[in-house]
Amino acid sequence: MQISEARLKEIVLEEVRNRLVERQWQQFKTAMREELAKEGIYLTEEELEEVMSDKWKRRLATYALGGTLATGIGGIGTLAQQVAQRGEETHQMMQQAGEERSQAQATEEYKVENMRQHLDNTAKWQWDWNKVPEVRTDGGSQPQSLPMLMDEEFGRIGVLPPEFSVFKEAHDDFVSGGGRKYLPEDVAKAVGNAEENRINFPTKNKIPPSPNYEAGGAPGVWQNASEQGFINYGLKKNPGYHKVMYLNFNKIEEDYMLPTAEMSKSEYYNKVWESFVEGKGELPPGAETTTGGGAPDPGAYSWYDPETMGDILQRESLEKENA
């Protein structure tokens, strides 16, 4: 079946419009993040989606695919007004939501629950001790999950990084009311090599570097780990594991360089305390154990410019007339 030249142009133009709408939608969301970041408010992708209705995206699509191109400059002007109005409304709504969120974050109950959720989210603590890090299914080099041991009696055991132990210590100190463990003058500088510490972690702590899959696990693995100072962390849901364990905080030397945070335990402890107890509840970039944590990048776009969409649509309209 042959497609006429006119129909082919319509198909191509429709695809371009669809991509344009998606690009503008992503820029709009990025602009929202930037504005919130200026106020010290950081939202996850999911939280941002909750407050930004799909109705706005549909309105962008309606203007791009329909009336705007048909009515030319007048339609573009209308779109610009709609973009500016919606942008201001959303900005005000986000400011109000940010104020309410800041008030909630100031309560002790919120801080405790936020720290607990951070501890319980194993995705925050992904790491491995392989010489060559595992490759994810999407091609990245970040590890898939946690290193795993196998005990013939207790089954699969996930091993949390030592950064988890430090975070939990800060959490426990806050919950108990004991106060901050390290003052600035108490902080020790880390020595050693983080990469070597990552690879040598199982050897240093006398646990198997790899699970015995073929035998269904080895005897006494969990007992041996317990004797070396590892503690069971009682997650309600252990994705893929029968147990998840972490190293006792007191087993970590003061000047030991943590393998993923690349800090001493006192340096990392203070980062956690300043962020989760005294701050907004997210580790800053460089202190998070995975690339998914910390404050989001506000992006390269300033506040949403309504002329951008108008200019592009005007150009497309003229191209269609000249086609």
- Amino acid 323: pLDDT: 56
Q: What does the pLDDT average to over 277-291?
A: 66
8 Å CB contact between 56 and 88: no
pLDDT at 295 over 50: no
Digit-coded pLDDT (tens) for 159-169: 999 999 999 99
| Residues in a beta bridge with 157 | 149, 243
pLDDT at 249 over 90: yes
pLDDT at 87 over 70: no
Digit-coded pLDDT (tens) for 267-279: 999 999 999 998 8
Quick one: tokens of 228? Answer: 């070396």
pLDDT at 195 over 70: yes
Nearest alpha-carbon partner for 128 in 114, 144, 115: 144
For the sheet with 243-247, list strands across it.
Answer: 148-151, 155-159, 243-247, 230-232
pTM for the predicted model, two decimal places: 0.59
Digit-coded pLDDT (tens) for 123-180: 889 999 998 766 555 554 444 589 999 999 999 999 999 999 999 999 999 999 989 9
Q: What percent of the chain has pLDDT above 70?
A: 54
- Amino acid 26: pLDDT: 73
Residue with more model confidence, 301 or 25: 25
pLDDT at 266 over 60: yes
**pLDDT band, very low/low/confident/very high, at 284 (cuts 50, 70, 90):** low
Quick one: tokens of 40? Answer: 């010290």
Rounded Cα–Cα distance for residues 275 and 280 (Å): 6
pLDDT at 283 over 60: yes
Averaged pLDDT score across all residues of the chain: 74
Residue with more model confidence, 237 or 56: 237
pLDDT at 291 over 60: no
Nearest alpha-carbon partner for 147 in 193, 205, 91, 87: 205
pLDDT at 78 over 90: no
**pLDDT band, very low/low/confident/very high, at 287 (cuts 50, 70, 90):** low
Quick one: tokens of 223? Answer: 């007992």
Q: Which residue has the tokens 């995206």?
A: 57
Digit-coded pLDDT (tens) for 10-55: 776 777 767 766 776 677 777 766 766 666 666 666 666 665 555 5
pLDDT at 228 over 60: yes
- Amino acid 22: pLDDT: 73
Residue type for position 85: Q
- Amino acid 297: pLDDT: 29
